[in-house]
């Protein structure tokens, strides 16, 4: 007996000079990076919120407060690993994950497979279960003006008997 649980996540970070750009656990060559307390990986933050939403366990800010020095500069892959370890030990597995990155630049396509592989490794699934789409915002809004990058995620978890 098992049930499925849906989760949704969204995040946006400002693009600023003097920071590395890390998306989906992959460092991408670019003249700006995302500002934030951790590495500001906007895609992974949205994934973490989607997992926490699916299992009804708060949000990324309640687990990793941005005023806690323990999380300063931390790799978001490490945060994802912590959250996923918790979900998995509670009996959940990933059915599939679909995401969209909204960024005017840089181009996401050349890095898509590396991101899928990095996420699949942490989530313990084959990369085929992880989708990463990319859009520009046609010049509109903070993403369109190149001031920010945003990400949206939905995912489906399978809850095995004894959980949820
Ligand atoms: Mg964030």
The tens digit of pLDDT for each residue in 77-127 reads: 999 999 999 999 999 999 999 999 999 999 999 999 999 999 999 999 999
Report the distance separating Cα 46 and Cα 60, nearest Å: 9
Q: Who has greater pLDDT, 163 or 115?
A: 115
Is residue 2 scored above 70 in pLDDT?
no
Q: Model-level pTM?
A: 0.96
Query: Residue 41: what are its φ and ψ, rounded to 5°?
Result: -75, 100
Q: Give residue 13 CA to ligand 1 midpoint distance, Å.
A: 6
Is residue 36 scored above 70 in pLDDT?
yes
Q: Give residue 11 CA to ligand 1 midpoint distance, Å.
A: 5
Q: Give residue 162 CA to ligand 1 midpoint distance, Å.
A: 32
Q: Give residue 2 CA to ligand 1 midpoint distance, Å.
A: 31
Q: Who has greater pLDDT, 6 or 72?
A: 6
Q: Which CATH architecture has domain 2-160?
A: 2-Layer Sandwich (3.30)
- First-to-final CA distance of the chain: 12
Cα 163 to Cα 35, 52, 68, 141, distances in angstroms = 37, 14, 30, 41
Please work out, in degrees rounded to the nearest 5, the angle formed at the alpha carbon of residue 41 by the alpha carbons of 39 and 45: 115
Q: What is the pLDDT of residue 29?
A: 97
Is residue 17 scored above 50 in pLDDT?
yes
Tokens of 43: 């895609």
Q: Give residue 1 CA to ligand 1 midpoint distance, Å.
A: 35
At what angle are helices 76-89 and 112-123 packed, to 10 degrees?
A: 40
Confidence of residue 71 (pLDDT cuts 50, 70, 90): confident
Is residue 55 scored above 70 in pLDDT?
yes
The tens digit of pLDDT for each residue in 119-162 reads: 999 999 999 999 999 999 999 999 999 999 999 999 999 998 65
Of 125, 107, 103, the C-alpha closest to 43 is 103
Is 71:37 a contact under the CB 8 Å cutoff?
yes
Q: Give residue 119 CA to ligand 1 midpoint distance, Å.
A: 17
Q: Give residue 129 CA to ligand 1 midpoint distance, Å.
A: 23
Q: Give residue 42 CA to ligand 1 midpoint distance, Å.
A: 5
Report the distance separating Cα 123 and Cα 115, nearest Å: 12
Beta-strand pair 21-23/33-34: unpaired
Q: Give residue 71 CA to ligand 1 midpoint distance, Å.
A: 12
């Amino acid at each position: 007996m098992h049930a499925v649980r849906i989760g949704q996540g969204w995040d946006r970070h400002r693009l600023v000079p003097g920071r590395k750009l890390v998306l989906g656990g992959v460092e991408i060559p670019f003249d700006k990076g995302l500002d934030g307390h951790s590495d500001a990986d906007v895609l992974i933050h949205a994934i973490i919120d989607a997992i926490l939403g699916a299992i009804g366990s708060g949000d990324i800010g309640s687990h990793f407060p941005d005023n806690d020095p323990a999380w300063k500069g931390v790799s978001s892959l490490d945060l994802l690993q912590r959250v996923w370890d918790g979900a998995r030990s509670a009996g959940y597995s990933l059915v599939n994950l679909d995401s969209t990155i909204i960024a005017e630049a840089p181009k996401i396509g050349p890095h898509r497979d590396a991101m899928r592989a990095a996420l699949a490794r942490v989530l313990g699934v084959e990369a085929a279960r992880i989708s990463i789409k990319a859009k520009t915002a046609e010049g509109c809004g903070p993403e369109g003006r190149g001031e920010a990058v945003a990400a949206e995620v939905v995912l489906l978890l399978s809850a095995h008997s004894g959980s949820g």
